[in-house]
């Protein structure tokens, strides 16, 4: 593997914490009712359809048909999606800014709804440092499928061996490694910073 020159980040739970609970714990007071709603209604599997490119209007209509008693809560998922995003992961925004100050090429590949991405992106100036961001919902390709990494490499204009990919999910890291990128399974900013130092990126 050649010299690593650029960094490719995941977004959710690498740069920013994310969990449907962040939104719905504000709306459902009873802990058992909240747990049941998240386990049975607005599940991660249901939301993954948005990451794959399905419109919220379609997925919410289907879910309301199955759970009509929860119509109001389900329909809030779209307009209040930003409330499911928590604070930045500790140390990560300063780390991105330090990389940017050193003119390290920065990119992202994120499983994210194309409908929800732009309203979120508009709230986070840190993404101004990124040269390109591949959003799964816009491309209708998702991690860890090979096609999204191959598309990203074409768009980024760098060789796979020149990039390190950071994600909190092992299968997504494996997908990047399968196309030749160096992989880093994210745990915390200090561990990542240490790897950047080892690679002479910082």
Percent of the chain with pLDDT over 90: 99
Give the start-to-end residue ranges of the domains of the chain.
6-17+86-198, 19-84
Query: pLDDT tens, 128-184?
Result: 999 999 999 999 999 999 999 999 999 999 999 999 999 999 999 999 999 999 999
- CA–CA separation, 154 and 94 (whole Å): 28
Per-residue three-class SS string for 66-87: HCHHHHHHHHCCCCCHHHHEEE
Q: Over 70: is that where the pLDDT of 38 sits?
A: yes
74 token code pair? 């389900």
Q: What region, left, alpha or beta, does residue 13 occupy, with left being phi > 0 and alpha being psi -120 to 50 degrees? A: left
Supply the DSSP symbol for 26. Answer: T
Q: How many CB atoms lie within 10 A of CB 93?
A: 18
- Closest C-alpha to 111, from 152, 161, 156, 67: 152
Which of the following CATH numbers is that of domain 6-17+86-198: 1.20.1280.50, 3.40.50.970, 3.40.630.30, 3.40.50.1000? Answer: 3.40.50.1000
């Amino acid at each position: 593997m050649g010299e690593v020159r650029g960094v490719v980040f995941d977004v959710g739970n690498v740069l920013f914490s994310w969990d449907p609970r962040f939104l719905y714990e504000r709306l459902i007071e009873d802990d058992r009712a909240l747990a049941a709603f998240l386990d049975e209604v607005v599940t991660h599997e249901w939301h993954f359809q948005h990451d794959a490119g399905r419109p919220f209007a379609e997925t919410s209509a289907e879910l309301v048909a199955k759970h009509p008693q929860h119509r109001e809560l389900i329909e809030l998922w779209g307009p209040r999606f930003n409330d499911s995003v928590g604070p930045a992961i500790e140390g990560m925004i300063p780390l991105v800014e330090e990389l940017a100050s050193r003119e390290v090429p920065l990119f992202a590949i994120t499983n994210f709804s194309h409908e929800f991405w732009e309203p979120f992106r508009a709230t986070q100036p840190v993404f101004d440092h990124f040269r390109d961001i591949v959003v799964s919902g816009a491309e209708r390709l998702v991690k860890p499928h090979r096609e999204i990494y191959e598309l990203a490499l074409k768009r980024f204009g760098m060789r796979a061996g020149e990039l390190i990919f950071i994600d909190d999910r092992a299968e997504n890291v494996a997908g990047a490694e399968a196309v030749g990128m160096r992989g880093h399974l994210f745990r915390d900013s200090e561990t990542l910073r240490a790897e950047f130092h080892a690679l002479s990126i910082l």
